[in-house]
Amino acid sequence: MRVVSGIQPTGNLHLGNYLGAIKRWVQMQDEAECLFFLADLHAITVFNDPAELAANVREMAAALLACGIDPERSTLFAHSAVPAHPELAWIFNCVARIGWLNRMTQFKEKSGKNREGASVGLFAYPVLQAADVLLYQASHVPVGEDQKQHVELMRDIGAKFNADYQVELFTLPEPLIGQTAARIMSLRDGNAKMSKSDPSDMSRVNLTDDADAVSQKVRKAKTDAEPLPESMDALEGRPEAKNLVLIHAALSDEEPQQVLARFAGQGFGAFKPALADVLVETLRPIKARLDGFRADPGELDSILARGAEKARARAQPTLDAAYRATGLRR
Ligand code: TYM
């Protein structure tokens, strides 16, 4: 099993990233060879202030380390430090079809009504994402549900390359999507994904929020007037309530049903403080470690430099084979 996944270094890590992806990245380290990267080449598909981008790469590296990514066991790097990613992405641009990319829902969401004004990079970014993973012959990609379509596209690109050039070069990876936390929703709107781009900070829990902020966000989270039911099925049609139960279950490593067994018949006046407690307890050690990593930017840079060196070495044979297969000379 070889695991590869990435995250954009934009702003803070939020609870959706943590429960949807990072928590499982940390667990996968015991089971597989892991490569994790900061997708800074993705971040620039929309304009980023250069100084802020550089700071965000360090900040996100610190956050991942604080969550438990261990640079001795995993390869952690910024993908801009491994030129094989954009090199393979170019070859893949010539394999992927415009029709495939036109179907990507994330591009539609991100470009909105201004499709003509979006960067070409934003449109083509799922192709770079395919290179990010296929370069390392990954078997599994742990992601939240919003990335499932991109992982399917990776498989299509890898399969078409293998077929066009009559090689068995690329491994076709499987998405690894958790059941409970596949899609954590906004605290203000149970039908919208928790996201860093939501203008309201009250919609998300950031991993850097202190206990007061966490309690306030949970207290103000949108809910309904009904008590909690006995079964998850009875939460259909109550997206906010369902989201809070799923968040609790993911944090306490329980089945959602077990959480309901404790709270069935009770209202949110009882449930919310319990949820805030689990959240604060989860975040406390992460925040403490984060402060330590932030205080040592030199160490962060050297961890990322070591990771990039390992990743470059890992990527090279597949990149060379892709050049050879296409008839390109170096
Ligand atoms: P990004 O930076 O938007 O998100 C990082 C990870 O967090 C997950 N996630 C969520 N999961 C559950 N609920 C949510 N509300 C939520 N919000 C975010 C995402 O699914 C993701 O796993 N394109 C990617 C980064 C990337 C990548 C890759 C991922 C670049 N190359 C190769 C996997 C493999 C992105 O923008 O993720």
pTM above 0.75, yes or no: yes
pLDDT value, residue 10: 85
Pocket test for ligand 1, best of 12, 13, 17, 59 (most atoms within 8 A of CB): 17
pLDDT value, residue 120: 98
Would you say 139 and 2 are in contact if contact means Cβ atoms under 8 Å apart?
yes
Tokens read off for 305: 């430099």
Pocket test for ligand 1, best of 8, 15, 110, 143 (most atoms within 8 A of CB): 143
147 Cα: distance to centroid of ligand 1 (angstroms): 6
Of the listed 23, 193, 217, 272, which one is catalytic? 193
As a whole number of angstroms, the distance between CA 187 and CA 31 comes to 33
- Known catalytic residue at 272: no
Q: Which helix (H) or strand (E) holds 252?
A: helix 239-252
242 Cα: distance to centroid of ligand 1 (angstroms): 22
φ and ψ at residue 75, rounded to 5 degrees: -95, 115
- Known catalytic residue at 196: yes
The single-letter code of the amino acid at 48 is N
Protein residue with least CA distance to atom 37, ligand 1: 7
141 Cα: distance to centroid of ligand 1 (angstroms): 10
- Known catalytic residue at 193: yes
3 state SS of 74: strand
As a whole number of angstroms, the distance between CA 283 and CA 291 comes to 12
166 Cα: distance to centroid of ligand 1 (angstroms): 32
pLDDT value, residue 12: 83
Torsion, Cα 201 7 287 2, to 10 degrees, reads: 150
pLDDT value, residue 330: 75
For ligand 1, which residues put their CB under 6 angstroms from it? 5-8, 16-17, 20-21, 39, 42, 129, 132-133, 141, 143-144, 146-147, 181, 183-184, 193-195
225 Cα: distance to centroid of ligand 1 (angstroms): 33
Tokens read off for 262: 């404790």
The contacts of residue 139 (CB under 8 Å, 6+ apart) are 1, 2, 3, 32, 171, 173, 174
292-318 core/surface letters (b: 16 or more CB in 10 A; e: else): ebeeeeeebeebbeebbebbeebbeeb
Protein residue with least CA distance to atom 24, ligand 1: 7
The position carrying tokens 């010539």 is 94
The contacts of residue 325 (CB under 8 Å, 6+ apart) are 161, 165, 167, 169
φ and ψ at residue 152, rounded to 5 degrees: -65, -40
Protein residue with least CA distance to atom 14, ligand 1: 16
3 state SS of 175: strand
The residue ranges of DSSP E strands in the chain, in sequence order, are: 2-7, 33-38, 74-78, 140-142, 174-176
Q: What's the average pLDDT block by block, 10 residues per block, for the chain (330 residues)? A: 96 93 96 98 96 96 98 98 98 98 95 94 98 98 97 98 98 96 97 94 96 98 96 96 98 97 96 98 96 95 98 98 94
Protein residue with least CA distance to atom 34, ligand 1: 5
